[in-house]
Structure 1
Protein backbone atom coordinates (compact mmCIF):
# COMPACT_ATOMS: atom_id res chain seq x y z
CA UNK A 1 0.00 0.00 0.00
CA UNK A 2 1.41 3.37 -1.02
CA UNK A 3 1.99 5.93 1.73
CA UNK A 4 2.37 9.63 0.87
CA UNK A 5 5.95 10.72 1.53
CA UNK A 6 4.66 13.65 3.58
CA UNK A 7 3.28 11.07 6.04
CA UNK A 8 6.70 9.50 6.68
CA UNK A 9 8.25 10.43 10.02
CA UNK A 10 11.30 12.63 9.54
CA UNK A 11 10.08 14.09 6.25
CA UNK A 12 10.01 17.87 6.05
CA UNK A 13 8.37 20.14 3.50
CA UNK A 14 11.64 21.16 1.83
CA UNK A 15 12.77 17.58 1.21
CA UNK A 16 9.26 16.54 0.14
CA UNK A 17 9.21 19.37 -2.42
CA UNK A 18 12.60 18.30 -3.81
CA UNK A 19 11.42 14.69 -4.00
CA UNK A 20 8.26 15.79 -5.81
CA UNK A 21 10.51 17.49 -8.40
CA UNK A 22 11.88 14.00 -9.11
CA UNK A 23 8.37 12.51 -9.32
CA UNK A 24 8.65 10.83 -5.91
CA UNK A 25 5.33 11.11 -4.11
CA UNK A 26 4.96 7.91 -2.08
CA UNK A 27 6.93 5.32 -0.14
CA UNK A 28 7.09 2.89 -3.05
CA UNK A 29 8.58 5.50 -5.38
CA UNK A 30 11.01 6.58 -2.67
CA UNK A 31 12.16 2.99 -2.17
CA UNK A 32 12.84 2.67 -5.90
CA UNK A 33 14.86 5.90 -5.80
CA UNK A 34 17.04 4.93 -2.81
CA UNK A 35 17.86 1.27 -3.51
CA UNK A 36 21.60 1.74 -3.93
CA UNK A 37 24.22 3.92 -2.23
CA UNK A 38 24.83 5.69 -5.56
CA UNK A 39 21.12 6.51 -5.93
CA UNK A 40 21.00 7.84 -2.37
CA UNK A 41 24.06 10.02 -2.94
CA UNK A 42 22.54 11.51 -6.10
CA UNK A 43 19.16 12.11 -4.45
CA UNK A 44 20.81 13.63 -1.37
CA UNK A 45 22.69 16.09 -3.58
CA UNK A 46 19.43 17.05 -5.31
CA UNK A 47 17.71 17.56 -1.95
CA UNK A 48 20.66 19.36 -0.34
CA UNK A 49 21.01 16.90 2.53
CA UNK A 50 23.44 14.17 3.61
CA UNK A 51 23.04 10.72 2.07
CA UNK A 52 22.47 9.41 5.61
CA UNK A 53 19.28 11.50 5.86
CA UNK A 54 18.01 9.99 2.61
CA UNK A 55 18.86 6.49 3.87
CA UNK A 56 16.90 7.14 7.08
CA UNK A 57 13.87 8.24 5.04
CA UNK A 58 14.29 5.17 2.85
CA UNK A 59 14.37 2.95 5.93
CA UNK A 60 11.15 4.59 7.15
CA UNK A 61 9.57 4.01 3.75
CA UNK A 62 10.72 0.40 3.89
CA UNK A 63 9.25 -0.16 7.36
CA UNK A 64 5.96 1.34 6.16
CA UNK A 65 5.59 -1.73 3.90
CA UNK A 66 4.91 -3.75 7.06
CA UNK A 67 1.18 -3.57 7.73
CA UNK A 68 0.50 -2.03 11.12
CA UNK A 69 3.72 -0.01 11.42
CA UNK A 70 2.92 3.68 11.18
CA UNK A 71 4.85 6.73 12.31
CA UNK A 72 4.63 6.24 16.07
CA UNK A 73 5.41 2.52 15.98
CA UNK A 74 8.25 3.25 13.56
CA UNK A 75 9.68 5.69 16.13
CA UNK A 76 9.24 3.12 18.88
CA UNK A 77 10.98 0.44 16.80
CA UNK A 78 13.90 2.78 16.11
CA UNK A 79 14.28 3.66 19.78
CA UNK A 80 14.19 -0.07 20.56
CA UNK A 81 17.06 -0.62 18.11
CA UNK A 82 15.26 -1.65 14.91
CA UNK A 83 15.34 0.74 11.97
CA UNK A 84 15.29 -1.57 8.95
CA UNK A 85 13.12 -4.39 7.63
CA UNK A 86 16.10 -6.81 7.56
CA UNK A 87 16.77 -6.04 11.24
CA UNK A 88 13.11 -6.57 12.09
CA UNK A 89 13.11 -9.92 10.28
CA UNK A 90 15.97 -11.17 12.48
CA UNK A 91 14.41 -10.27 15.83
CA UNK A 92 12.70 -12.57 18.28
CA UNK A 93 9.22 -11.14 18.71
CA UNK A 94 9.08 -11.73 22.47
CA UNK A 95 12.40 -9.96 23.10
CA UNK A 96 11.50 -7.09 20.78
CA UNK A 97 8.09 -6.70 22.39
CA UNK A 98 9.71 -6.51 25.83
CA UNK A 99 12.22 -3.91 24.62
CA UNK A 100 9.48 -1.84 22.95
CA UNK A 101 7.39 -1.96 26.13
CA UNK A 102 10.38 -0.91 28.23
CA UNK A 103 11.21 1.92 25.79
CA UNK A 104 7.63 3.14 25.69
CA UNK A 105 7.36 3.09 29.49
CA UNK A 106 10.49 5.26 29.67
CA UNK A 107 9.63 7.66 26.83
CA UNK A 108 5.82 7.60 26.60
CA UNK A 109 5.71 7.53 22.80
CA UNK A 110 2.25 6.00 22.57
CA UNK A 111 -0.71 5.34 24.85
CA UNK A 112 -1.31 2.03 23.07
CA UNK A 113 1.95 0.08 22.73
CA UNK A 114 1.91 -2.88 20.35
CA UNK A 115 0.83 -6.26 21.64
CA UNK A 116 3.05 -9.32 21.41
CA UNK A 117 0.76 -10.66 18.68
CA UNK A 118 1.28 -7.46 16.65
CA UNK A 119 5.07 -7.70 16.98
CA UNK A 120 4.98 -11.39 16.00
CA UNK A 121 3.01 -10.42 12.89
CA UNK A 122 5.48 -7.62 12.01
CA UNK A 123 8.44 -9.99 12.30
CA UNK A 124 6.67 -12.57 10.11
CA UNK A 125 5.82 -9.92 7.51
CA UNK A 126 9.41 -8.63 7.52
CA UNK A 127 10.71 -12.15 6.89
CA UNK A 128 8.44 -12.45 3.85
CA UNK A 129 9.41 -9.11 2.28
CA UNK A 130 12.03 -8.82 -0.43
CA UNK A 131 15.01 -6.65 0.46
CA UNK A 132 14.31 -3.20 -0.96
CA UNK A 133 17.49 -1.33 0.01
CA UNK A 134 21.12 -2.23 -0.58
CA UNK A 135 23.45 -1.22 2.23
Structure 2
Protein backbone atom coordinates (compact mmCIF):
# COMPACT_ATOMS: atom_id res chain seq x y z
CA UNK A 1 0.00 0.00 0.00
CA UNK A 2 1.26 3.47 -0.84
CA UNK A 3 2.16 5.47 2.25
CA UNK A 4 -0.08 8.42 1.34
CA UNK A 5 -3.09 6.08 1.19
CA UNK A 6 -2.62 4.70 4.69
CA UNK A 7 -5.38 5.87 7.01
CA UNK A 8 -4.19 8.72 9.21
CA UNK A 9 -1.10 9.62 7.19
CA UNK A 10 -2.58 11.52 4.27
CA UNK A 11 -0.85 13.81 1.80
CA UNK A 12 1.00 16.23 4.08
CA UNK A 13 2.69 13.58 6.22
CA UNK A 14 2.88 11.27 3.22
CA UNK A 15 4.91 13.81 1.25
CA UNK A 16 7.34 14.17 4.15
CA UNK A 17 7.74 10.41 4.39
CA UNK A 18 8.17 10.01 0.62
CA UNK A 19 10.92 12.66 0.71
CA UNK A 20 12.63 10.49 3.36
CA UNK A 21 12.43 7.40 1.13
CA UNK A 22 9.26 5.89 2.59
CA UNK A 23 6.90 5.37 -0.34
CA UNK A 24 5.14 2.17 0.74
CA UNK A 25 3.73 0.93 4.02
CA UNK A 26 6.34 -1.84 3.99
CA UNK A 27 9.08 0.84 3.85
CA UNK A 28 7.66 2.44 6.99
CA UNK A 29 7.74 -0.87 8.83
CA UNK A 30 11.27 -1.66 7.66
CA UNK A 31 12.73 1.78 8.37
CA UNK A 32 10.76 2.41 11.55
CA UNK A 33 10.98 -0.96 13.27
CA UNK A 34 13.81 0.11 15.61
CA UNK A 35 13.99 3.08 17.99
CA UNK A 36 16.97 4.47 16.05
CA UNK A 37 15.07 4.08 12.77
CA UNK A 38 12.10 5.99 14.17
CA UNK A 39 14.40 8.72 15.50
CA UNK A 40 16.01 9.01 12.07
CA UNK A 41 12.63 9.24 10.34
CA UNK A 42 11.48 11.85 12.84
CA UNK A 43 14.63 13.89 12.22
CA UNK A 44 14.39 13.62 8.43
CA UNK A 45 10.65 14.33 8.23
CA UNK A 46 9.94 16.66 11.14
CA UNK A 47 7.15 14.29 12.22
CA UNK A 48 6.91 13.48 15.93
CA UNK A 49 8.52 10.17 16.82
CA UNK A 50 5.39 9.14 18.76
CA UNK A 51 3.27 9.57 15.63
CA UNK A 52 5.74 7.52 13.60
CA UNK A 53 5.63 4.76 16.24
CA UNK A 54 1.82 4.74 16.10
CA UNK A 55 1.93 4.27 12.31
CA UNK A 56 4.65 1.61 12.55
CA UNK A 57 2.54 -0.33 15.07
CA UNK A 58 -0.49 -0.08 12.79
CA UNK A 59 1.63 -1.18 9.82
CA UNK A 60 2.86 -4.12 11.89
CA UNK A 61 -0.73 -5.21 12.52
CA UNK A 62 -1.39 -5.23 8.78
CA UNK A 63 1.03 -8.17 8.46
CA UNK A 64 -1.94 -10.26 9.61
CA UNK A 65 -4.10 -11.50 6.74
CA UNK A 66 -7.35 -9.55 6.64
CA UNK A 67 -6.12 -6.68 8.81
CA UNK A 68 -5.82 -3.44 6.89
CA UNK A 69 -5.61 0.19 7.95
CA UNK A 70 -9.17 0.30 9.30
CA UNK A 71 -8.95 -2.81 11.46
CA UNK A 72 -5.49 -1.82 12.69
CA UNK A 73 -6.98 1.51 13.79
CA UNK A 74 -9.88 -0.33 15.43
CA UNK A 75 -7.48 -2.60 17.30
CA UNK A 76 -5.40 0.36 18.43
CA UNK A 77 -8.49 2.20 19.67
CA UNK A 78 -9.38 -0.99 21.56
CA UNK A 79 -6.02 -1.08 23.34
CA UNK A 80 -4.22 -3.50 21.02
CA UNK A 81 -1.31 -1.58 19.51
CA UNK A 82 0.97 -4.40 18.40
CA UNK A 83 1.04 -7.92 17.02
CA UNK A 84 2.62 -8.95 20.33
CA UNK A 85 -0.38 -7.59 22.24
CA UNK A 86 -2.84 -9.16 19.82
CA UNK A 87 -1.39 -12.65 20.26
CA UNK A 88 -2.04 -12.47 24.01
CA UNK A 89 -5.71 -11.52 23.69
CA UNK A 90 -8.71 -13.70 24.29
CA UNK A 91 -10.66 -13.55 20.99
CA UNK A 92 -14.08 -13.38 22.68
CA UNK A 93 -13.02 -10.55 24.98
CA UNK A 94 -11.39 -8.71 22.08
CA UNK A 95 -14.55 -9.04 19.99
CA UNK A 96 -16.57 -7.49 22.81
CA UNK A 97 -14.08 -4.66 23.18
CA UNK A 98 -13.85 -3.79 19.48
CA UNK A 99 -17.65 -3.84 19.23
CA UNK A 100 -17.88 -1.45 22.18
CA UNK A 101 -15.19 0.85 20.78
CA UNK A 102 -16.69 0.85 17.31
CA UNK A 103 -20.15 1.68 18.66
CA UNK A 104 -18.59 4.68 20.37
CA UNK A 105 -16.21 5.90 17.65
CA UNK A 106 -17.68 4.50 14.40
CA UNK A 107 -14.29 3.46 13.00
CA UNK A 108 -15.71 0.92 10.56
CA UNK A 109 -19.07 0.16 9.00
CA UNK A 110 -18.26 -3.56 8.98
CA UNK A 111 -16.83 -5.25 12.06
CA UNK A 112 -14.85 -8.45 11.72
CA UNK A 113 -16.76 -11.58 12.69
CA UNK A 114 -15.87 -13.46 15.87
CA UNK A 115 -14.36 -16.16 13.65
CA UNK A 116 -12.17 -13.56 11.92
CA UNK A 117 -11.02 -12.12 15.25
CA UNK A 118 -10.08 -15.61 16.41
CA UNK A 119 -8.12 -16.06 13.18
CA UNK A 120 -6.34 -12.72 13.66
CA UNK A 121 -5.29 -13.70 17.19
CA UNK A 122 -4.15 -17.15 16.06
CA UNK A 123 -2.12 -15.73 13.18
CA UNK A 124 -0.53 -13.15 15.49
CA UNK A 125 0.67 -16.06 17.62
CA UNK A 126 2.63 -17.42 14.64
CA UNK A 127 4.37 -14.16 13.67
CA UNK A 128 7.84 -13.23 14.82
CA UNK A 129 8.04 -9.82 16.51
CA UNK A 130 9.20 -7.16 14.09
CA UNK A 131 9.02 -3.86 15.97
CA UNK A 132 11.62 -3.13 18.65
CA UNK A 133 11.05 -0.76 21.57
- Whether TM exceeds 0.5 here: the answer is yes
Tell me, in whole angstroms, the C-alpha distance in 2 between the residues paired with 1:35 and 1:109.
26
In the other structure, the counterpart of 1:120 is 118
Matched, 1:73 2:71: yes
Work out the number of aligned pairs and report it: 133
How big is the shift at 1:72? 2.1
RMSD of Structure 2 on Structure 1 (CA): 1.4
**Which residue of 34, 37, 54 maps to 1:36?**
34
Q: Is 1:27–1:62's contact at 8 Å kept on the other side of the alignment?
A: no
Q: Is 2:58–2:76's contact at 8 Å kept on the other side of the alignment?
A: no
- Residue ranges of structure 1 left out of the alignment (5+ in a row): none
Query: Larger relative CO (CA 8 A, sep 6+): 1 or 2?
Result: 1
- Residue ranges of structure 2 left out of the alignment (5+ in a row): none
In the other structure, the counterpart of 1:134 is 132
Task: Please report the TM-score for the alignment, with normalisation by the length of structure 1.
Answer: 0.89
Task: Please report the TM-score for the alignment, with normalisation by the length of structure 2.
Answer: 0.91
Matched, 1:100 2:98: yes
In the other structure, the counterpart of 1:91 is 89
| Structure 1 consecutive aligned stretches of length 4 or more whose deviation exceeds 3 Å | none
How big is the shift at 1:21? 2.4
Tell me, in whole angstroms, the C-alpha distance in 1 between the residues paired with 2:50 and 2:109.
30
In the other structure, the counterpart of 2:5 is 7
How big is the shift at 1:39? 1.1
